[in-house]
Amino acid sequence: MFYIVGLGNPGEQYAETRHNIGWHIMDTCVSAWGLATPVDSAAVAGRITTGVVAGEEVQVLYPGTYMNNSGSAVKKLVPSEQTRQLLVIHDDIDLPWGEIKLVQGRGAGGNNGVQSIIDKLGSKEFARLRVGIAPKSFWTGKIKRPAGGGPLERFVLKKFSTTEKKQLPEVATSAQLVIEAVLEHGVAQAMNTYNTKVS
């Protein structure tokens, strides 16, 4: 069994925000894989669907908790001995918009949702698909990371820009390919294949 969790915040007011890009990617994957529409489950504190993808049994979870408490839902889903079978998809302010990077066994990197999962599972030995949301400078091409605190919180909770919205399907499809590679070939090979493409 493999567990795939997209991070986001519940509620219509957050649906189109950058912080919810993990949910957008899961929507794309669930549709492409022909999985049933996710249903509410009190047992896992979120919406869940199951199926077989790339020959692997999967459970896909959209935590019903707010981002900062994602670990509470994930802990209900993932048995403690299967932590390495977990893949978490989330926004990352330290990567430029649309860039995707697969990591495993790393710290939270400032993402409160990921930190909550680490705290609740008592482990960081799961895989993460980091999806960049940081803007780039028009002049230098470098990331313009919002300052921590209020500016950062306002940025991640803002709706996608018009340009981002147009590019979102392509970003989601790229993420889908990485997830499928993880399921088919394992995390290490997927990292070797895809991380080199998004330097």
Q: Which of 56, 63, 65 minimizes the C-alpha distance to 77? A: 63
Interatomic CA distance for residues 93 and 162, integer angstroms: 18
The packing angle between helices 162-185 and 187-194, to 10°, is 140
Would you call 185 a catalytic residue per the annotation? no
Alpha-carbon gap, residue 179 to 187, rounded angstroms: 9
Give CA–CA dist 103/99, Å, rounded.
Answer: 13
Could you give the C-alpha distances from 189 to 3, 79, 180, 192, 199, in angstroms and in order? 18, 24, 12, 5, 16
Q: Which of 19, 24, 90, 185 is catalytic?
A: 19
Residues known to be catalytic: 19
